[in-house]
Structure 1
Amino acid sequence: MGDLLSTIGTPLYYAISAIWLAWHRLFALLPISSGWAWTLAIIGLTVTIRALLIPLFVKQIKSSRNMQLIQPKVKELQKKYGHDRERLAQETMKLYKETGTNPFASCLPLILQMPIFLSLFHLLRNAANGEAKGFLTTADAKEIQNGEIFGAKISESLTNHTTTNVVVLAIILVIAMTATTFTTQRQLMSKNMPTDAMSGPYAQQQKLLLYVLPIVFAVGGIAFPIGLMLYWTTSNIWTMGQQFYVIRNNPAPGTPAAKAKEERDRAKAARHGVVAVDGPPATDVPEADRRPAQRQQPKRQSREQRKSSRPNQPKKDDNP
């Protein structure tokens, strides 16, 4: 088992340490302490990982939206085949296939981040003992071991600390990590889930994650090094911002976020004097802001057409 974990983990140690070192070399050029250079490098590592996971995040959003939209059909299947669990499972999977929905896609970013999270955990834990892994050298491990921010070593945790500053900073980061995890999940449920989906199995799954994930990270955070908690808190903040952007600009139909976007679109149209397609004319727009109707230009005509279109005029009398 140990050999298997080593085989899987070794490539990750090299990959994570390479990105971490690249960011550290950049921040080491600034007039800051070694501890802050390694800390900012952890934030840079987080941004890099999350940027690479954007395609999976988009897939996660699409799958989550499909899961929400098909909940009425799932309920119909439950009413129809509730007595036959095997048939219900077959019809549900058929529905997922027809709608292109993957019920496990919502967990993909989290699942893929866990090996990275654990690799960084081992890199920090070994560095705390002066041991190097991946591309880190012994000198790098010593710098990480002694690197400090706000008087606390980034390689230490609540269960392994030498100063009060470590305890204070670790508690602050545990609270931040837990709060951002809860807020991210709450944002998804309160703004981007239609009413029909709030009582189905998908909603129950989301409610479970809403309360279980923060508890898991709050308990686990006790043993996490400060550097690792910085990684996860930064990742949560990235998720919050990314999710806010998607929900605001491309919400699921029938959700509070979709209604809010419709209101913003109507208000924007009213400001520009444009009549909304699905709304009333913007009669409340000030007269000065309304665009005047463009005058239709007459068609060009030849000389013969102009002569033929003139009414017959009486000839002038030559006599005075």
Structure 2
Amino acid sequence: MAQLNQLFIWIFEQLKTVVELFVTEPGNQWGLTIVLFTILFNILMLPINLKQMTTMRKQQALQPEVAKIQAKYKNDPQKLQEMQMKLYKENNVNMFGGCLPLLITYPIFIAMFGVFRQLVADGKLTGMRFTPLIPDLAANHNIILSILSVGTMLLSTYITSLKMKGQDNPAAASANRMQYMMAALFGWITYTSNSALGLYWVTGNAFRVIQGLILNNIDKKKSEKVIK
């Protein structure tokens, strides 16, 4: 983990060098560097998110068959699970594929926690002001960032859940419930951690909201073409 932190810090420093060519105020340099890093990371995550969308679309298509299995084996949970897994396997669908982005995003968040803590310890973020909402990137207890963290995370979850609206999908429902609980947890982490981490998380959530809207629109257009 220490090596990963050093890698991220090195990337931050390289990005900051680029930002310095266009921005002179130190606080804005660091703030924009964090935003830029977050956007680039989420762009790299796009293939995984597109795969998630494909998986969810396949799960939707299989819902009629899943409903039949649930009705047939409603009194035999073990057999129900076995047949449902068999159905997904036969159709090359990963039942928990929708959770993959979470399994990557959260460990990276933990790594970033260490990165920003190191940058604060080195004094690089102390006193760095980025917009009126963040008077000091090194300071904690930023209630505005905490609220934005919860709000953007819940909004992202809601947008993602629209794909499964009206569908009885246990995996998707479980993932959504997990997201709601995690939103509260990450809101607290954002509040108790330095503002740099909060900026990273809120920016990432905002990116995922926009991404979700775009992917939903693409998915909707594809569905309309199939219907026509």
TM-score range, shorter chain: 0.7 to 0.9
Q: Which residue of 2 aligns with 1:233?
A: 202
**What's the C-alpha RMSD, in Å, of the aligned pairs?**
2.3
Q: Whole-Å Cα distance in 2 between the matches of residues 81 and 252 of structure 1?
A: 36
1:206 offset after TM fit, Å?
Answer: 4.8
TM-score by length of 1: 0.64
Q: Deviations over 1:195-235 (max 9, x none)?
A: 2x1x4424532551453232222222221211111111111
Q: Deviations over 1:51-76 (max 9, x none)?
A: 11111111111112222232222221
Q: 1:154 aligns with which of 133, 137, 148?
A: 137
Q: Whole-Å Cα distance in 1 between the matches of residues 220 and 171 of structure 2?
A: 17
- The answer to whether 1:193 aligns with 2:164 is yes
Residues 104, 59 of structure 1: alpha-carbon distance in 2 compared, 3 angstrom cutoff = same
Higher helix share: 2
Q: 2:124 aligns with which of 140, 143, 165?
A: 143
Q: Whole-Å Cα distance in 2 between the matches of residues 210 and 31 of structure 1?
A: 36
- Asked if 2 retains the 8 angstrom alpha-carbon contact of 1:16 and 1:116, the reply is no
TM-score by length of 2: 0.87
Q: Whole-Å Cα distance in 2 between the matches of residues 240 and 66 of structure 1?
A: 22
Q: 2:220 aligns with which of 251, 256, 262?
A: 251
Q: Which residue of 1 aligns with 2:186?
A: 217
Q: Deviations over 1:28-80 (max 9, x none)?
A: 22342212111111111111111111111111111122222322222211222
Q: Deviations over 1:99-152 (max 9, x none)?
A: 22112221212221222211221122133232xxxxxxxxxxx32234222372
Residues 30, 252 of structure 1: alpha-carbon distance in 2 compared, 3 angstrom cutoff = closer
Q: Whole-Å Cα distance in 2 between the matches of residues 19 and 68 of structure 1?
A: 40
Q: Which residue of 2 aligns with 1:205?
A: 174
Q: Which residue of 2 aligns with 1:171?
A: 143
- Asked if 1 retains the 8 angstrom alpha-carbon contact of 2:42 and 2:204, the reply is yes
Q: Whole-Å Cα distance in 1 between the matches of residues 195 and 10 of structure 2?
A: 20
Structure 2: which amino acid aligns with 1:144? L
Q: Whole-Å Cα distance in 2 between the matches of residues 211 and 50 of structure 1?
A: 21
For structure 2, the 5+ residue unaligned runs are none
1:82 offset after TM fit, Å?
Answer: 2.5
- Asked if 2 retains the 8 angstrom alpha-carbon contact of 1:157 and 1:225, the reply is yes
User: How many residue pairs get matched?
Assistant: 225
Q: Which residue of 2 aligns with 1:103?
A: 95
- Asked if 2 retains the 8 angstrom alpha-carbon contact of 1:68 and 1:202, the reply is no
- Asked if 1 retains the 8 angstrom alpha-carbon contact of 2:60 and 2:164, the reply is yes
Q: Secondary structure at the match of 2:164?
A: coil
- Asked if 1 retains the 8 angstrom alpha-carbon contact of 2:5 and 2:115, the reply is yes
Q: Which residue of 2 aligns with 1:43?
A: 35
1:244 offset after TM fit, Å?
Answer: 1.0
- Asked if 1 retains the 8 angstrom alpha-carbon contact of 2:27 and 2:129, the reply is yes
